A and B are shown apart, each in its own frame.
Chain A
């Protein structure tokens, strides 16, 4: 198939064959990462701007390394040190950056829909690196890729996602990627953080982690954000950990060859026990590895010769 997209704003409108195409491209990229010289000239002369309005070391670094492995020039722009603190609007900031002729803009923003909004005004490509509680498409694709590498397929797998479903953009992208590829998704967490309406996506909702984890092939734990406690989504971290944390006894209900994922950073001892985080079942570091390959694939595919590139 030919890649026609100019932007990657979310996985909501991604067809399965497009996701397979990205994963297939990522497999070739991963070979580059195994070499002594981990760099190819594919994006020589292209400029990638990381425009981050929220703190993020992991995703930003992953995109930065992905760009550099492909020989793109990568520029980081973070809101804390920029004119945003002087009152500049998102559109003005983006327009100013665009005037410097980047090819791809990678945007993280606390407002849902920010990259979709910007894509109407700029001519460069945009990759959404997380917009509010909406989507985080590269994470959805890297989770897909990580599970494919561990299990060889998605179809028919029981995939439990446990934690703050309500605020998670990762879950929304995963529902599109893993759900559309035929995974049977179970969402679990405290009722205040797992809206029943999520069942409309085709996923099952449960408030009992044992039911979610039972016979699962994949257990994905989400980071519980400590500030949620202040807004009374759950009574205490200790109680949360006791009811929704993954430890050896709960994980033993899953299939023998089940794997554990976590988008990071992990709150050790809260949503995931130390022992499991470092166990042979953990694929958390594989996710980080897959992330660079998936982001290289996205950058490569978007840097194609469509008219928008400068």
Chain B
């Protein structure tokens, strides 16, 4: 594979602004943080959901429960991959029954990850509703899925990838647009 151009489309400061706006939108639509729970999708959605959790604490003075879900066992391409993907952890240490669940992911692409995450959530209980918050929406949907809260829409070609780098400290967070690298996150 040839390594193409990498372009920073959002830096740490920019991500913080976008996530703050998403948090405000979530709180506005739900009229506060009552009965709200956050579930980050492994791995990219988890640091973002933590950020939103902290932001809600600052704004509302309320601690909303936050968990995370690994969708590997719910994927629809398990027999098509050349090998079995490594499992990550799922931890939802609270009941989601009758809660308003905000599912958080880094990049919305084909929608297949979200489909799998919805199946996983339903196995944990019967929430009042499920909402979807994503940092980046890059298009190319293969399923009828849309996000309730979108940080940024980025028009992409299929050969490009959107990489949300949240491994390091927050000051190093950034979003990159890569050309001609293998698809990530889907």
- B94 located at the interface, meaning its Cβ lies under 8 Å from any Cβ of chain A in the complex: no
**Once the chains bind, are A41 and B89 in contact (CB under 8 Å)?**
no
Q: How far is the CA of A86 from the CA of B88 in the complex (A)?
A: 47
A29 beta carbon closer than 8 Å to chain B: yes
Q: Do A42 and B78 touch across chains, with their CB atoms under 8 A apart? A: yes
- The listed residue (A21, A25, A28, A305) touching B79 by CB distance below 8 A is A305
Tell me the bound Cα distance from A42 to B89 in angstroms.
15
Complex: how many Å from CA A40 to CA B90? Answer: 12
Chain B residues closer than 8 Å to A4, beta-carbon distance: 83
User: Quick check: is B31 within 8 A (CB to CB) of the other chain?
Assistant: no
Interface residue? A122 (CB, 8 A) = no
Report chain A residues within 8 Å CB of B88: 28
Chain B residues contacting A24 (CB-CB under 8 Å) are: 86-87
> Is B143 an interface residue, CB under 8 A from the partner?
no
Number of B interface residues, CB 8 Å? 23
A31-B91, A37-B123 known; A309 vs B79 contact (CB < 8 Å): yes
A20-35, CB < 8 A from B: 21, 24-25, 27-29, 31-32, 35
- What's the least CB distance linking A291 to chain B, in Å? 18
Nearest-neighbour CB distance to chain A for B99, whole angstroms, equals 15
Main SS of chain A's interface residues? loop
Residue of A nearest to B74 (CB): A41
**B123, closest chain A residue (CB):** A37
A248 to chain B minimum Cβ distance, whole angstroms, is 38
Identify which of B73, B78, B89, B119 contacts A305 (C-beta below 8 A).
B78
Chain B residues closer than 8 Å to A32, beta-carbon distance: 73, 90
Q: Mark B119-152, 1 if CB is under 8 A from A, else 0.
A: 1100111000000000000000000000000000
A39 within 8 A of B: yes
Within the complex, the shortest CB–CB distance from A269 to chain B, in Å, comes to 41
Q: Is the CB of A303 within 8 A of B84?
A: yes
Interface size on A, residues (CB 8 A): 28
- Is A52 located at the chain interface by the 8 A CB criterion? no
CB distance from B98 to the nearest CB of A (A): 15
Assembled-state Cα–Cα distance A32/B124 (Å): 10
Instruction: Give Cα distance in the complex from A2 to B28, angstroms.
Output: 45
Query: In the complex, what residues of A have CB within 8 A of residue B87's CB?
Result: 24-25, 28-29, 300
User: Is A263 interfacial (CB 8 A cutoff)?
Assistant: no
Known: A28-B88, A37-B123. A2 touches B83 (CB 8 A): yes
How far does the Cβ of A234 sit from chain B's closest Cβ, in whole Å?
Answer: 45
Query: What residues on A are CB-neighbors of B120 within 8 Å?
Result: 40
Residue of A nearest to B125 (CB): A36
B168, CB-defined interface residue at 8 Å: no
A141 to B154, CA, bound (A): 47
Q: How distant is A244 from chain B, measured CB to nearest CB, in Å? A: 41
Identify 10 new A-B residue pairs, CB closer than 8 A, beyond the known A2-B83, A40-B120, A303-B78: A28-B70, A28-B90, A40-B74, A42-B75, A300-B73, A301-B84, A303-B79, A304-B83, A305-B79, A306-B83
Q: List 26 A-B residue pairs with CB atoms under 8 Å apart, sorted by A's residue number.
A: A2-B83, A21-B86, A24-B87, A28-B87, A28-B88, A32-B73, A32-B90, A35-B123, A35-B124, A40-B120, A40-B123, A42-B73, A300-B84, A300-B87, A303-B78, A303-B84, A304-B81, A304-B82, A304-B83, A305-B79, A305-B81, A305-B82, A305-B83, A305-B84, A306-B82, A306-B83
> Closest 3 A-B residue pairs measured CB to CB?
A28-B87, A304-B84, A40-B73
Interface residues in chain A, defined as those with a beta carbon under 8 Å from any beta carbon in chain B: 2-4, 21, 24-25, 27-29, 31-32, 35-37, 39-42, 45-46, 70, 300-301, 303-306, 309
